[in-house]
Amino acid sequence: LNLKNNIPWWGKIIIKMILSKINVSYHLWKKLKLFQHGDMCKPDYAYSVFIKHFENSKFHRKSSGFVSMELGPGDSLYSALIAYCFGAKKSYLIDTGQYAIDDPTSYMKMVDYLVAKGFTVPNIDGVSILKNVLDVYNAKYETDGLASLKCIADNSVDFIWSQAVLEHIRRAEFREVIRETRRVLRDDGVCSHQIDLKDHLSFSLNNLRFSDETWESDLMANSGFYTNRLRYNEIIRIFEEEGFNVEINNINRWDKLPISKDHLNEKYAVMSDDELLISGFDVILSPK
Ligand SMILES: C[S@@+](CC[C@H](N)C(=O)[O-])C[C@H]1O[C@@H](n2cnc3c(N)ncnc32)[C@H](O)[C@@H]1O
């Protein structure tokens, strides 16, 4: 019996809201497998995600020393090592908290994985703190979200990418984050984002049942299941208004709405089925 899969969406909201009020570090929740951002602690997953974004992206300095930025790395900073192997001379990893594993021996697992793939990777044997691991790969981990982005110089990054992150940016900050990515991106750079539009409760649209007022309250938004509920067309419009050309690589759709429109908040119930059926997409953004 898989308990997690048998808890209804509303039960997950209640449980997560209660647990988020208990003062326990993210690292302990992760150990207990109650909250976890993703699978970035697995070298093969981290590698496959990086490769997907990198292969989809064309940018001027791709083969000659580029600056890479991952938004929302989550549970590990493995992508800094991977980006180095693919020619990054510098990497930024920007999140909203220190969620990444900080034990250097985990990073040695990623080194071993890359060596087995035939890459020449700087040795980190004996390096005892994460900061020194990152220094070896000229990587910076910044954990103050939008404020961290604002500290990065204009026109200085070649390749910005994210995996299942943009839907988690607080709605009130979303446009400004996109504006900042445009500001830091070089005119010949590129962004690649994968965006998941399913609720983070039971892979459905239960998040659209609520009014903005309820959903955007700090209690809801800080309980580990928050998504900003921006739908496909609104996200694309913001990208365009903030100075990007948009190329859609892939769109995932449900065959039919996963819940009846009767259950949705009126703001979403009036949207077209075409809009609501989109459950995720991959997009490439280049400067206009
Ligand atoms: C679902 S996790 C995905 C983690 C990782 N990319 C993966 O694929 O496993 C979402 C991540 O986005 C981060 N995030 C949320 N808002 C952000 C923001 N404004 N800037 C940067 N990262 C953000 C979260 O802290 C979290 O690490």
Look-up of token digits 């302990």: 28
| Mean pLDDT of all residues in 234-254 | 98
Predicted local distance difference test score (pLDDT) of residue 29: 63
Q: Please name the amino acid found at residue 170.
A: R
Protein residues with CB under 6 Å of any ligand 1 atom? 37-40, 71-74, 94-97, 99, 145-146, 163-165, 168-169, 173, 177
Comparing 36-45, 81-90, 189-198, which segment has the lowest mean pLDDT? 36-45
Report the atom number in ligand 1 closest to the C-alpha of 163: 6
pLDDT over 80 at 25, yes or no: no
pLDDT over 80 at 20, yes or no: no
pLDDT band at 77 (very low <50, low <70, confident <90, very high): very high
Hey, what long-range contacts does 167-172 have (CB within 8 A, 24 or more apart)? 167/195, 167/196, 167/197, 167/227, 167/228, 167/230, 168/72, 168/226, 168/227, 168/228, 169/145, 169/228, 170/216, 170/221, 170/226, 170/228, 171/212, 171/216, 171/228, 171/229, 171/230, 172/216
Q: How far is the CA of 171 from the centre of ligand 1 (A)?
A: 14
Report the atom number in ligand 1 closest to the C-alpha of 72: 22
How high does pLDDT run on average in the chain? 93
**Beta 88-94 vs 66-71: how paired, if at all?**
parallel
pLDDT over 60 at 2, yes or no: no
pLDDT over 80 at 268, yes or no: yes
Q: How far is the CA of 96 from the centre of ligand 1 (A)?
A: 7
Q: Are 129 and 24 in contact (CB under 8 A)?
A: no
DSSP 88: E
Predicted local distance difference test score (pLDDT) of residue 27: 64
Q: Which two tokens stand for residue 266?
A: 């009126």
pTM: 0.93
Helix residue ranges per DSSP H, the chain: 3-6, 9-21, 26-31, 43-56, 78-85, 104-116, 130-136, 145-150, 171-184, 212-215, 218-221, 232-241, 266-269, 273-276
Predicted local distance difference test score (pLDDT) of residue 50: 98
Comparing 10-14, 73-77, 167-171, 240-244, which segment has the lowest mean pLDDT? 10-14
Q: Are 168 and 228 in contact (CB under 8 A)?
A: yes
